[in-house]
Amino acid sequence: MAGQVQIDERLLDYVQSVSLRDDEILRELVAETASMPALNAMVTMPEEGQLLSMLVGLTGASQVLEIGTFTGYSTLCMARALPPGGQIVTCDISERWTRVARRYWERAGVGDRVELRLGDGAETMGTLLSERGPQTFDLVFIDADKTSYARYYEEALTHLRPGGLIVLDNTLYFGRVADPEADDPDTRAIRELNASLLDDSRVELSLLVMADGITLLRKNKVHQEQEGDFS
């Protein structure tokens, strides 16, 4: 049985050459973000953006919630995949970086599909719950401060419809999760969340060895029925 292929730069270049379908707007957004000092590690890999776009289409998502906007690459990819009338609510604390995002959303013609909310992510999720009620989103993408991931995940389950999808980014965290000597708060937070998800009966689980680790979690319809929620 074949094992995991080791990805080096040559193989990654090959994968991009035969599968990546980005365009001028996406490439320019990556280049502008990568040029910002100390922030290039936060750029969403184009392959991941393409995957997010496909996941929106596969799930039939029309209402998407994103925690962590940065310069808006993932937002743009998901917004393009929305059906007519669809919307993505994206949350961030930085007006500076999201100002860049707004420019590219408008250039791509998806500005009317994006609602940007500035402020603390957990507080924004609480406000959205008060405004919209539970189970109103089809897909939730989380790519924000790592020490708050567990809280964002729990909030996301409340916001997500049964059968909906949560996508967690950076769940391998530069490979540090497997390093017993790595004990910084971010690594600990991701490592502990990963361990807890294995036994979480509320979701179906798959951790993709792609980019910096992408975990897919499908909210279990059966669990909802067992709790007496047949909506």
Task: Confirm whether 19 is domain-assigned.
Answer: yes
Whole-number percent of the chain with pLDDT over 70: 93
**pLDDT surpassing 60 at residue 224:** no
Q: Is residue 108 part of a domain?
A: yes
Q: What is the pLDDT of residue 40?
A: 63
Q: In the predicted model, is pLDDT for residue 226 greater than 80?
A: no
Residue 4 within a domain = no
CATH number, domain containing residue 139: 3.40.50.150
Domain count, the chain: 1
Q: Taking residues 75-96, what's their average pLDDT?
A: 97
> Which pLDDT score is estimated for 223?
53
Q: What CA–CA distances, in Å, run from 87 to 20, 65, 74, 90, 187?
A: 25, 9, 14, 10, 32
Residue 81 scores a pLDDT above 90:
yes
Q: What is the pTM of this model?
A: 0.93
Task: Tell whether 177 is covered by a domain.
Answer: yes
Output the pLDDT for position 147. Answer: 97
On whether residue 1 sits in a domain, the answer given is no
pLDDT tens digit sequence for 137-153:
999 999 999 999 999 99
pLDDT value for 231: 40
Residue 138 lies in a domain: yes
| 90 within a domain of the structure (yes/no) | yes
pLDDT at position 1 is 59
The reply to whether 191 falls in a domain is: yes
Q: The domain containing residue 99 runs over which residues?
A: 9-226
Q: How confident is the model at residue 134 (pLDDT cuts 50, 70, 90)?
A: very high
